[in-house]
Structure 1
Amino acid sequence: MRSSSLLLLSFLVGVCDGQGASDFRICAFNLHHFGDSKAKKSDVMLTLAKIITRCDVCLLQEVRDSKGKALQQLLDRLHSYDTGHVYKAVASERLGRSETYREQYVFVYRTDTVTVTGQYQYPDDRPGDVDAFAREPFVVRFRAPMTAVKEFVLIPQHTTPVNTTKELDALYDVLDQVKKMWKTEDVMLLGDFNADCGYLAKKNRKNVRLFTDKNLIWLIDENADTTVRLTTSCTYDRIIVHKGSFASTVVPSSAKPFNFQMEYRLTEEQALEVSDHYPVEVLLKGHRSTSFRNGGTSLALTGTKGTAHQTIFNLKIFALFALSHLVFQMLTW
């Protein structure tokens, strides 16, 4: 009796906590010089695992894995921390103008919720604007059947601080090319744009087409601080989507930085060991079929959107009532 009651209690907790369970999280995180030395710090790797496994897709920037070992160590750490999912990564070549300093864009993703259907390394050879980027975008197309959008494209960019305005404007050409190449407007631009404070003066925004094109939406609030240091307050890291069908699949007010320092109760020094940036994230609405999972068991609710939401609401009310009754009984044993 006791074991069966505990099983029921576990299920009911899962139902009560099921709000947003079908939402799909996309993240972008500047890891700040991620390579061999950082991969050797077990406490840092644990925090990275906690952060990254929150996401269905996570763009990693400033990956400086010259020996090709740190990324695999990170994936191993993700799997040891989160045994419920399988994670894979798709990475760009090592990018940069200097032989001594190069970075990779890396997309880490959950294989049970999303698959890679295409990738494209922007050649940065546009006539009249050759070599516009220090780290040219590595564009990836994903299929996520349990989201409302089903398939979308992510364009990452980590701008160089000394040339932020020019690189952000050139990113508009990448967007235009990708939309034509893959015949879609379901495109998201994301990453450390250095799009604030001394790197992008507000007076220069009129020179950036990503700002002036009214069909684009900048999702991260202008007053959000995406930096860890207490001495800075800048919205460097951004997420941009196209208006229309894709924007309508974004969960309202879900785009924000994730303050891992506060979430995991770290000191500023401990947080800076992880990164000097907070990741930014956004949720996409799930498919109108919603599942509540408890271990390997799922209860699916299908039908019209309104009917599904009403059914979910009714289930939660029932679960809360049953949960309170069950807890009372367990306390009186």
Structure 2
Amino acid sequence: MGSCLTKCHHGQQEETRPDDRYTTDNTRADSNRVQDPEFDENLRQKSRHRADGDGDRGKGWRRKSSGLSRFSQDGRHVIQPPFTVGAFNIQKFGMAKLSDKETLQLIARLVREFDILLVQEVVDVSGKALNILLEEVNSGQSSQGSGLYEVLASPRVGRSSHKEQYAIFYKSTLVQIKNSEVYHDPGDIFIREPFLVSVSVNTVSPVGNEFCLVCIHTQPTSANKEIDRLVDVQKHVKDTWNMDNIIILGDLNASGQYIKSRDWETNRLRGAEYNWLIADHVDTTATNTLAAYDRIIVSGPMMDVVVPNSAQVFRYDQVYQLDQDILKKVSDHYPVCFSLETLAHPKIQKNITTRMIISVEDKRFITSPPDQFLDEFSLKQYKARGLYAKDGQLTVIEVRSQRISNLSKVVSTVEALRKYDRSLVSYSVLASIKHQVNFVMKSWEKKLLEEEKGKFQVLIQVDVEEKKIVCSLLINT
């Protein structure tokens, strides 16, 4: 038995099916649903042409359009993928590193993984390395396809002859740079002053479409002091730029020998208003150091549009199946990243339903024969129906509750089903649903109540073929 929490987007058709081969009550499935290989798509008839008398396609017939593709233009899709923000310390990034063609191509590929990416430890004095990388990133790209990138580089910062730059690579079709500056750093606390960049993103939900990046690469030996002082940098951004949405990101050296557990007890950036998306136990290094040096901290209302569980260390060597020698050529760090929720095109927003699903799978099965169970099922608040294969065999039984307006009533609704038939809802399934509702769903409850659109529904799917039961909680938001 297992459970999962996902957030999905659906079109106008609200119901989902366990398998598109199935039909309801032994009738043919909706023509809008994908079926067997011989599935025949809906056709739309032009006004002057008809099909032949025997039903063959006449002149002028064509596939039925979704009506949505006409809105995909100017580099923007109907439903834009989640907006990805990343930070990557590319060890000693300069001309020497880019002289290796394979390394250059790999770094360019990594940049294209993100919609906006902070690159740290740019040590190139000539200023050519960033332009070479940008050219490689955009090589073969199209402004009408995945979008071209631009780069914004900070002035060189540092106290000694060794100075570094921060560089922001961003997709120009999505991101607009509004303002940027190097933090003035009263008291000279930071060895490399943070680079502040305010941006606007045209596809992100309004609560989070404007934010400021606080780019930082701390000095390891003074990491705790610099991390603590980032609270003052945040206050400067709020007071000077009138921005509440702030993302602090970069190589904070916030782990290992540079930060002790007792340091966190007094560090102001560990306050409740700061959301550390990369946890203390996560390894962000590409070596055997095992430390959470690279971090992302989010504050402000935009936390409401951070995609749940999207924050991660991007272990590109595993994704791209690279060996350790190539990994060492790039950096001793991995990129860290997270995603923001995006909007559908405003002209078709009304056709989109957002649904979150908590799903618990149980390998145990009902005790009574499926056909008998379906015939005899009778329980207030629930309706049952059978889904049949083309040969008339019962394949899935769906038991669906009425709409539930209050999250607190969900558990009691599942409990009623367990009282009716303990083999349909085991104690383990009930306990799993309780856990998800009490702990995971609490973070969504405020949003659901504010929007006054919370519609909950319990769905039990009895898979006759695979002999398993799936209990799901559907939430339309």
- What TM-score range do you get, normalising by the shorter chain? 0.7 to 0.9
Higher helix share: 1
The match for 2:311 is 255
| Seq. identity, % | 34
Q: Which amino acid aligns with 2:334?
A: Y
The match for 2:275 is 217
Deviation at 1:199, TM superposition (A): 1.0
Deviation at 1:119, TM superposition (A): 0.8
The separation in 1 between residues aligned to 2:254 and 2:321, in whole angstroms, is 28
Higher relative CO (CA 8 A, sep ≥ 6), structure 1 or 2?
1
Correspondence for 1:302 among 349, 364, 368: 349
Indicate conservation of the 8 Å contact 1:228/1:276, yes or no.
Answer: yes
Map 1:281-320; keep pairs closer than 5 Å: 281-289=337-345, 301-303=348-350, 307-309=352-354
Correspondence for 1:240 among 297, 322, 330: 297
In the alignment, is residue 77 of structure 1 matched against residue 136 of structure 2? yes
The match for 1:34 is 93
5+ residue gaps, structure 2: 1-40, 42-62, 70-76, 356-477
Map 1:1-333; keep pairs closer than 5 Å: 21-83=80-142, 84=145, 85-99=147-161, 101-125=162-186, 130-148=187-205, 149-211=208-270, 213-229=271-287, 231-243=288-300, 245-289=301-345, 301-303=348-350, 307-309=352-354
The separation in 2 between residues aligned to 1:203 and 1:124, in whole angstroms, is 26
The separation in 2 between residues aligned to 1:81 and 1:59, in whole angstroms, is 22
Indicate conservation of the 8 Å contact 2:149/2:169, yes or no.
Answer: yes
Indicate conservation of the 8 Å contact 1:221/1:256, yes or no.
Answer: no
SS in 2 for 1:303: helix
Q: Which amino acid aligns with 1:89?
A: V
Indicate conservation of the 8 Å contact 1:165/1:208, yes or no.
Answer: yes
SS in 1 for 2:139: helix
Indicate conservation of the 8 Å contact 1:120/1:140, yes or no.
Answer: yes
Higher gyration radius (CA): 2
The separation in 1 between residues aligned to 2:192 and 2:141, in whole angstroms, is 31
Deviation at 1:287, TM superposition (A): 1.5
The match for 2:441 is none
SS in 2 for 1:263: helix
The separation in 1 between residues aligned to 2:78 and 2:272, in whole angstroms, is 33
Q: Which amino acid aligns with 2:353?
A: A
Deviation at 1:22, TM superposition (A): 2.5
Indicate conservation of the 8 Å contact 2:284/2:336, yes or no.
Answer: yes
Indicate conservation of the 8 Å contact 2:247/2:298, yes or no.
Answer: yes
Q: Which amino acid aligns with 1:110?
A: K
5+ residue gaps, structure 1: 291-299, 311-333
SS in 1 for 2:239: helix
**What's the CA shift string for 1:140-170, capped at 9, x where partnerless?**
0001011012211100110011110111111
The match for 1:314 is none
Q: TM-score, normalised by structure 2?
A: 0.56
Indicate conservation of the 8 Å contact 2:103/2:329, yes or no.
Answer: yes
Deviation at 1:20, TM superposition (A): 8.0
What RMSD, in angstroms, separates the aligned Cα atoms of the two structures?
Answer: 2.2
Deviation at 1:238, TM superposition (A): 0.5
Deviation at 1:81, TM superposition (A): 5.0
SS in 2 for 1:31: strand
Indicate conservation of the 8 Å contact 2:79/2:343, yes or no.
Answer: no
The verdict on how the C-alpha distance between 1:145 and 1:285 changes in structure 2, with shifts beyond 3 A counting, is same
Deviation at 1:222, TM superposition (A): 2.4
Q: Which amino acid aligns with 2:94?
A: G
Deviation at 1:197, TM superposition (A): 0.8
The separation in 2 between residues aligned to 1:105 and 1:224, in whole angstroms, is 24
Deviation at 1:289, TM superposition (A): 3.3
Deviation at 1:91, TM superposition (A): 1.1
The separation in 2 between residues aligned to 1:236 and 1:199, in whole angstroms, is 9
The separation in 1 between residues aligned to 2:140 and 2:124, in whole angstroms, is 21
Indicate conservation of the 8 Å contact 1:22/1:287, yes or no.
Answer: no
**What's the CA shift string for 1:122-141, capped at 9, x where partnerless?**
1112xxxx110010011000
Query: Which stretch has the larger CA shift, 276-285 or 85-94?
Result: 85-94
Indicate conservation of the 8 Å contact 2:223/2:252, yes or no.
Answer: yes
